Chains A and B, each alone.
Chain A
Amino acid sequence: MLSYVLKRLAQLVVVAFIISVLVFLLVHLLPGDPTSIILGGNDTAANRQILLHQLGLNTPIYHQYWIWLIHALHGNLGQSYLTRETVGHVIASGFPIDVELIIISQVVAFAVAIPVALITARRPNRPLDNIATTGTFGLLALPPFLIAPILVAIFAVGLHWFPATGYVPFSQNPATNLHDMILPGLALTAGSIAVYYRLLRSDLIMTLQEDFITMARSKGLSDRRIMMRQAFRPSTFSLLAVAGVNIGALLAGTFIVEYLFAMPGLGYSIVQAVQQRDYLIVQGIALVVAIAYVVLQFIIDFLFTVVDPRVTRE
């Protein structure tokens, strides 16, 4: 167990390091730099040099990286070139938004995909299954930037059930916060429902043909009981694995939804920061995303052991 945790920690450090180097290189090589955004049109050569010096951007790139790394190891991720907001603050206010959006969208996705798969997998290719299949492909054809305005038009403008944009931090008012997060969460959920449903359905169909299911059937167990007690657990491996990749992609991948709902989450912040060449913000968020991804895989691995005790952590 200890060696497992150590291995994971080592992995986290390695991944975080590699990603920070790659991101650093990539954003610094992009055409343009923060001075053109800060100076706008007042961009004279002299002004640029002064500003580059002020921002610490006039040294070789490996030196800049080294400075960043030393500061980061001391817990100082720097600050925005533009607003002077600290990167720590951007992350502290943005990360909860992403986490919450992901939790809501994934809970809804599982809450829809699992029961529907359990029902339809028993009788594949029957009308109910066909309807569900059609429905999931319908969901796949609807990108979030299309779902969001439709949800807003119906549930915010039409029915006045939810606000159209904005949010209140969870720490300030949990009830309002949840209320604000529902529409953006739903806008993200469609694709996940479709993928999870397809995977679980096909795995369930396969599992149901296993011998132990037949044995259970021959013992006279009810279909419902077989589904819940016997078939479900062994059928969730692909689901878990793909959920891991999928949730990983949603980390800082929620920018369109955050933009539409006017929420300063990590996805929105990182895209804006890349476009403004606000290097340290990009760097800080990328680091957080990488660490979160490693932790996420750790959780997924742990869940594998829950789903099947025979999976050992070695």
Chain B
Amino acid sequence: MSRRLFLSRGAATGGIILVGAGASAGLAGCSSGSSGPGTTTGSNKGGKAGVSTGTPKRGGTAVIGTTADIDGFFPPTNHWDNNGFLYANTIYDPLTAVAADGSIRPYLAESVTPNSTYTAWTLKLRSGITFHDGSPLTSAVVKANFDALKASALTGIALKPITSVTITDPLTVVYNFADPFVSLPASLATQVGYVVGQAMLDAASKSPMTPPHPIGTGPFIYDNWQPNDHFTATRNPRYWRSGFPHLDSITFRPIPDTTQREATLKTGGVDLILSADPVTVNHFTGQSSYQVVDSLSTTIGEPDVDFIILNCASPPTNDLRVRQALAKATDRAQVVKLFGGGLSEPANGLFPKGSKYYSDTGYPAFDPTGAKTLVSAYKQQHGTPTIELVTVPDSRDIKVTQVLQQMWEAVGFTISVKTIEQAELISNVVTGNFQAYTLEQYAVPDPDINYVWWSTTTVAPPGQISLNFSRNSDPQIETALLSGRRSPDPATRIKAYQTVNERLAQDLPYIWLGQTVWSAVGDTRIQNFANPVLPDGSPGQPFDNGIFFPTQIWMAG
């Protein structure tokens, strides 16, 4: 039973930052560039789970059991976790999307091209696209969206590098930057890249305290939403991608408890469930009446990682020896074995094996003897290091902290375990009032989107608000981050983020555990849920951190 989402109205509302599917300054992880569904089993004869090669059948309704509800549909003010992106993929379209090979492809855009110095990006929209209210998609609407996003407290930070947006013709906008910025296409595949209709923007600015009626260009039209109960959308008969969607309607039902969500799938109450708990994969794998897809083989970009964040500005974790001892005392293999359902591997940094950014980071290996030596050295100067390890009241997270408590106490620490609620946790983390917290974060299509979390420019002393939560101020990381942001050369970028990853393994603001395992389990009726096709004909990223496209789904029988 995962209570994590119960306690956070879906990580959507900020939990996302700490325990949810990693929203980064609003540029949340729409996609982390997976090369294909990971372990797949299914009933499709000879095929992959979630992939159907048969002729799609028109009609029918799909019911999806999600992990939590969201706080709303308006990109500038609402905080989307994976469920937010599911809803967004239903009624909106993004400007760009991540392809199966990890490249960024145009979606609502026809092309996104940089100038020679990467200080200006020209985005051309496809022509003939209309919103659900009949109004056309134009460059003016895209700019209006940008202005709203830029003005928002939530998404403004992510758009800070963009100095201005200009309209050059009805279908063309230009994004201008002061410094080179190479990852704009990836950014447009996230929350700030979903385009809403002008009428929705107008409604929102006219009465900011009323949720605007959602208007998008997407495959389905908003029908009704009862928070914590269901969200239903009906087929858009005038969808610009001809032949899509196949379904008449789609309904999402948030079922916060994992066991109950699984039971609802078994009783036929829903056709597909999502889960962030690897036990779900174990429960359904090998059963012919279910199709299981997981997100583990994500090889490009960044997946969500489970880790412990340490406060580098307050004692005792401000002492590098303490952080080193904690890292050495943590038997990641054991943690992953206990909680990864036999699927996940120990993490040595931000990127999993197979990612182009992966390297041997030099992260400390499990070494309890070495840890003991470090602790006793610290002890002689300052006495026994005492650490409060905090988590949210989620049964799985609570177990993880108990395991860590035993491992860390074994080398001489005194550890107390505490649970607090999401709201308090967030405010403690941003103001530096913590020693060690459990987090789950970082899924994004391009590591540059995570800039604010690691930059020296966002460090503030405890007591003040700091987006660099751990307050690890490392100039080498800043240099590497800027080089990754500014250089179009793939080799330079790879080197840059490998440097960031290696510096994090030196500075140790984070104790890595393992990659988060997302899964989608469908019954035999629901077809093709992990097989999106992008407008340019290339296969899209199949399933990413709890997110898929409903466009290509159809129901058999």
A235 to B357, CA, bound (A): 76
Whether A160 contacts B267 in the complex (CB less than 8 A), given A40-B79, A272-B6, comes out as: yes
B430 and A43 contacting across the interface, CB-CB below 8 Å: yes
Contacts of B228 in A (CB 8 A): 262, 264, 268-269, 272
Q: Which residue on chain A has the smallest CB distance to residue B227?
A: A83
| B267 engages A276 (CB within 8 Å) | no
Q: Which residues of A contact B18 (CB under 8 A)?
A: 41
Name the 4 nearest CB pairs between A and B, nearest first: A40-B14, A47-B153, A264-B228, A32-B423
Best-surrounded residue of A41, A79, A82 (most CB of chain B within 10 A): A41
For A271, the closest partner residue in chain B by CB is: B6
Given contacts A264-B226, A275-B7, are A149 and B465 in contact (CB under 8 A)?
no
A83-B14 contact given A41-B426, A43-B430, A263-B229, CB 8 Å threshold = no
Q: Tell me the complex Cα distance, A263–B227, Å.
A: 10
Specify which of B9, B153, B155, B428 is in contact with A82 (CB 8 Å cutoff): B9
Cβ of A163 under 8 Å from chain B: yes
Contact B469 A82 (CB under 8 A): no
Q: Distance (Å) between the CB of A102 and the closest chain B CB?
A: 19
**Are B257 and A157 interface neighbours, CB within 8 A?**
no
Contact A40 B426 (CB under 8 A): yes
Task: Pick the residue among A83, A165, A275 that contacts B423 (CB under 8 A).
Answer: A275
Do residues B266 and A157 form an inter-chain contact, with CB atoms below 8 A? yes
B320 within 8 A of A: no
How many residues of chain A are within 8 Å of chain B by beta carbon?
49
Query: Given known contacts A39-B153, A82-B9, A166-B269, what 7 new A-B pairs fall within 8 Å (CB)?
Result: A32-B426, A40-B15, A40-B17, A40-B426, A152-B260, A165-B269, A262-B255
Chain B 374-399 per-residue mask, 1 if CB under 8 angstroms from chain A, else 0 = 00000000000000000000000000
The answer to whether B23 and A31 touch across the interface, beta carbons within 8 angstroms, is no
Report if A50 contacts B (CB, 8 A).
yes
Evaluate contact between A82 and B13: CB separation under 8 angstroms.
Answer: yes
B245: Cβ under 8 A from any A Cβ: no
The residue of chain A having its C-beta at the shortest distance from the C-beta of B269 within the complex is A163
User: Contact string, B206-247, partner A, CB cutoff 8 A, digits 1/0?
Assistant: 001111000000000000001111100000000000000000
Residues of B contacting A34 with CB < 8 Å? Answer: 423
Could you tell me if B257 and A277 are in contact, using CB atoms closer than 8 angstroms? no
Query: Which A residues are in CB contact (< 8 Å) with B155?
Result: 42
Choose one: B26, B71, B261; the contact of A165 (CB below 8 Å): B261
Asked whether, in the complex, the Cβ of A45 is within 8 Å of the Cβ of B263, the reply is: no
**Least distance between B467 CB and chain A CB atoms (Å):** 6
**Interchain CB contact under 8 A, A276 and B430:** no
Judge if A259 is at the interface, Cβ distance under 8 Å: yes
Select which of B1, B157, B266, B423 is within 8 A of A37 by beta carbon.
B423
Closest chain B residue, CB of each to CB of A167: B229
Within 8 Å CB of A95, what residues of B? none
For residue A33, CB closer than 8 A to chain B, the reply is: yes
Can you list 12 A-B pairs, Cβ within 8 angstroms, ordered by A? A32-B426, A37-B9, A41-B14, A41-B24, A41-B469, A43-B426, A54-B208, A82-B71, A83-B9, A84-B210, A85-B211, A264-B227
How near does chain A come to B135, taking the closest CB pair, in angstroms? 24
- Is there contact, CB below 8 Å, between B259 and A259? no
With a cutoff of 8 Å between Cβ atoms, the chain A residues found around residue B464 in the complex are: 45
For chain B, residues 448 to 470, give those with C-beta under 8 angstroms from any C-beta of chain A.
452-453, 464-465, 467, 469
Interface residues of B in 1-39 (CB under 8 A from A): 1, 6-9, 13-18, 23-26
CB A111 to nearest CB in B, in angstroms, measures 26
Tell whether, in the assembled complex, residue B264 and residue A165 are in contact, meaning their CB atoms are under 8 Å apart.
Answer: yes
Residue of B nearest to A180 (CB): B269
A37 to B72 Cα, complex, angstroms: 13
Question: Are B14 and A36 touching (Cβ within 8 A)?
Answer: yes
Is the beta-carbon distance between B153 and A51 smaller than 8 angstroms? Answer: yes
Q: How far is the CB of B76 from chain A (nearest CB, A)?
A: 12
Is there contact, CB below 8 Å, between A276 and B422?
yes
The A13-56 residues at the B interface (CB cut-off 8 A) are 30-34, 36-45, 47-48, 50-51, 54
Q: In the bound complex, how far is the Cα of B229 from the Cα of A93, in angstroms?
A: 10
**Interface digits, A150-179 against B, CB 8 Å rule (1 contact, 0 not)?**
001100110010011111000000000000
Whether, in the assembled complex, B509 has its beta carbon less than 8 Å from a beta carbon of chain A, the answer is no
What is the CA–CA distance of A164 and B229 in the complex, to the nearest angstrom?
A: 14
Neighbouring B residues of A260 by C-beta, 8 Å: 1, 257, 260
Residue in contact with A164 in the complex, picked from B6, B208, B211, B263, CB distance below 8 Å: B263
A276 touches B9 (CB 8 A): yes
Residue contact B260 to A149, C-beta cutoff 8 Å: yes
Tell which of B209, B227, B259 has the most Cβ of chain A within 10 Å: B227
Complex Cα spacing A2 to B293, Å: 67
- A42 x B153 contact (CB < 8 A): yes
Q: Give me the interface of B with A, judged by CB distance under 8 Å.
A: 1, 6-9, 13-18, 23-26, 71-72, 79, 153-157, 208-211, 226-230, 253-257, 259-261, 263-264, 266-269, 421-424, 426-430, 452-453, 464-465, 467, 469
Docked complex: A51-68 residues within 8 A CB-CB of B: 51, 54
Q: In the complex, which residues of chain B have a beta carbon less than 8 angstroms from the beta carbon of A39?
A: 14, 153-154
**Shortest beta-carbon distance, B7 to chain A, in Å?**
5
- CB of A69, distance to nearest CB on chain B (Å): 19
Residue of A nearest to B421 (CB): A275
Q: Counting chain A CB atoms within 10 Å of each CB, which of B16, B24, B255, B260 scores highest?
A: B260
A259 near B153 (CB under 8 angstroms)? no
B24 neighbours in A (Cβ, 8 Å): 41
Assess whether A262 is in contact with B211, with CB atoms less than 8 Å apart.
no
Bound complex: CA A54 to CA B424 (Å): 21
- A32: chain B residues at CB < 8 Å are 421, 423-424, 426-428
CA of A45 to CA of B154, assembled, Å: 13
Q: Does A232 contact B (CB under 8 A)?
A: no
Taking CB atoms, residues of chain A closer than 8 Å to B8 are: 275-276
A293 within 8 A of partner (CB) = no
Pair A36/B430 contact, Cβ less than 8 Å: yes
Give chain A residues whose Cβ lies under 8 Å from the Cβ of B210.
84
Chain A residues contacting B23 (CB-CB under 8 Å) are 40-41
Which residue on chain B has the smallest CB distance to residue A48? B465
Interface residues of A in 224-246 (CB under 8 A from B): none
Interface pair A79/B421, CB less than 8 Å apart: no
Question: Bound complex: CA of A68 vs CA of B96, how far in Å?
Answer: 44
B263 touching A152, Cβ below 8 Å: yes
Asked if A261 is at the interface (CB within 8 A of a chain B CB), the reply is: yes
Could you tell me if A42 and B269 are in contact, using CB atoms closer than 8 angstroms? no
Kindly list chain B residues whose C-beta atoms are within 8 Å of the C-beta of A44. 153, 157, 465, 467
Contact of B17 among A41, A48, A263, A275 (CB under 8 A): A41
Closest to A274 in B: B421
A85 touches B263 (CB 8 A): no
Contact A41–B430 (Cβ < 8 Å)? yes
- With CB as the reference atom, state the residue of chain B lying closest to A148: B260
Question: Smallest Cβ distance from A233 to chain B, in angstroms?
Answer: 42
Quick one: which of A36, A149, A269 contacts B259, CB cutoff 8 A? A149
With contacts A40-B23, A43-B430 taken as known, whether A84 is within 8 angstroms of B423 at the C-beta atoms is no
CB-based contact B263/A165 at 8 Å: yes
Closest chain-A Cβ to B265's Cβ sits at a distance in Å of: 8
List chain B residues, Cβ under 8 A from A272.
6-7, 9, 228
Cβ contact of B154, chosen from A40, A156, A262, cutoff 8 A:
A40
Given contacts A42-B157, A264-B226, contact A37 B13 (CB under 8 A): yes
| Chain B proximity of A55: nearest CB distance (Å) | 9
Do B226 and A262 touch across chains, with their CB atoms under 8 A apart?
Answer: no
Q: Which residue of B lies closest to A40 (CB)?
A: B14
Known contacts A43-B465, A152-B260; decide if A157 and B254 are in contact (CB<8 Å): no
Given the known A-B contacts A84-B72, A272-B9, A275-B421, are A45 and B260 also in contact in the complex, defined by CB atoms under 8 Å? no
Instruction: Return A197 CB to nearest CB of chain B, in Å.
Output: 29
Q: Which residues of B contact A157 (CB under 8 A)?
A: 263, 266-267
Residue on B with the closest CB to A265?
B228
**Which A residues touch B230, using CB under 8 A?**
166
